[in-house]
Amino acid sequence: MTLQFTVPNLACSACGDTIATAIKAIDSTAIVQADPKTKQVSVETQQSEATIRQIITEAGYTVS
């Protein structure tokens, strides 16, 4: 399933890489796309929305 998140403090491509690395640590097949311009993170994963939201938060980012 594809999940969409707004991450207000997604500032640069390195931030997107940090989020992608954190998500791939629990789902190596996940496809993560982060756009610093729109503050959007799209995740194609089998994990629940709550799990992905928690991982992004634990990586130091806010999910709104």
In a domain, 14, yes or no: yes
Residue 33: give the domain boundaries.
Answer: 2-58
In a domain, 17, yes or no: yes
Residue 47: C-alpha distances to residues 7, 8, 27, 52, 55 (Å): 18, 22, 7, 7, 11
The pTM for the full model equals: 0.94
In a domain, 63, yes or no: no
In a domain, 64, yes or no: no
Q: How many domains does the chain have?
A: 1
- Report the CATH number at residue 24: 3.30.70.100
pLDDT 10s digits, 7-63:
999 999 999 999 999 999 999 999 999 999 999 999 999 999 999 999 999 999 999
- E strands in 1-64: 2-6, 31-35, 40-44
Q: What is the pLDDT of residue 3?
A: 98
In a domain, 44, yes or no: yes
